[in-house]
Amino acid sequence: MDATSAAGDLHPYWPRDLLIPTYVANDRSMSEILTFLFSVSGVFLLVTWMITSRKVATGRLGTWRRLAVCWFAVCGFIHGVIEGWFSLYYDIIPGDQSFLSQLWKEYSKGDSRYVIADNFTVCMESVTAWLWGPFSFWAVFAFLTNKPYRFVLQLIISLGQLYGAVLYFFTEHRDGYSHSELGHPIYFWFYFVFMNVLWIVIPLLLIVDSWKQLSAAQADTDNTKSAKSKRN
């Protein structure tokens, strides 16, 4: 059952007594919104996959590395465009009918903090949009052009994403999961859990990868310095 906003309009968010004075119901369906999100993400992934098939300075990228670059391309879109929209228009989203505002109103069925301009979500999404968005595109460029700092970028971005995702879940845990219908197969498990746990699992893998790559590079530098000192 829908709850009523202060303006008298029905809203689908939790907790049920949540007041959203400016709320206007979406006129776009869930299927339209999700089709847009996954279609555009798919285009970014496909185009990046095709681009990474070309040779770089050190030869062709392996499958794992190509997938990592595709991940950063999709992150650039989601962080820079989707979350960038929220960071700019969070205060008008409940009553706005722009497509991206409707996307956020749909997602808010899994986490209503986004329709009440919760301080944590505004701050976290703003940092994500304006740091990890551009940095993700920078990482794509760095891997395609074989920049020596590419794994440093990967480590910085992944640490930032992991930290934000952990705080995202932990703050809601401390609130008793009160901003979603706990256990709902779409709104809780798909929107809230699945679509966010990706930013824990994948960054963790990339952090381990960066650790290995940077450690190997440092070991090689140390060995080179040791060999030079022995010759001297």
Please name the residues in contact with 91: beta carbons below 8 A apart, sequence gap of 6 or more.
117
Residue 62 burial class via C-beta count within 10 angstroms: exposed 0-12, middle 13-18, buried 19 and up = exposed
Is it the case that residue 79 has pLDDT exceeding 50? yes
Q: CA nearest 111: which of 187, 171, 173?
A: 187
* Predicted pLDDT at 1: 45
Could you tell me if 23 and 11 are in contact, meaning their C-beta atoms sit under 8 angstroms apart? yes
Nearest Cα residue to 72 out of 9, 141, 173:
141
Output the pLDDT for position 52: 87
Share of the chain above pLDDT 70, in %: 91
* Side chain identity, residue 31: S
The pTM (predicted TM-score) of the whole model is 0.88
* Mean pLDDT of the region 49-72: 84
Q: Would the pLDDT of 17 be above 60? A: yes
Q: Is residue 94 over pLDDT 80?
A: yes
pLDDT of 123 above 90: yes
Please check whether residue 105 is in contact with residue 94, taking contact to mean a CB–CB distance below 8 angstroms.
yes
Counting every residue, how long is the chain? 232
* Backbone phi, psi, residue 82, to 5°: -65, -55
**Residues β-bridged to residue 11:** 3
DSSP string, 203-217: HHHHHHHHHHHHHHH
Percent of the chain with pLDDT over 90: 77
Domain ranges of the chain: 30-217
pLDDT digits (tens, 9 = 90+) for 125-156: 999 999 999 999 999 999 999 999 999 999 99
Report the half-sphere exposure of 104 (CA within 13 A, side-chain side): 31
Q: CA angle 35-37-42, nearest 5°?
A: 90
The whole-number average pLDDT for the span 69-93 is 95
Cβ–Cβ < 8 Å for 85, 100: yes
Encode burial over 201-229: b for 16+ CB neighbours within 10 A, e otherwise. ebbeebbebbeeeeeeeeeeeeeeeeeee
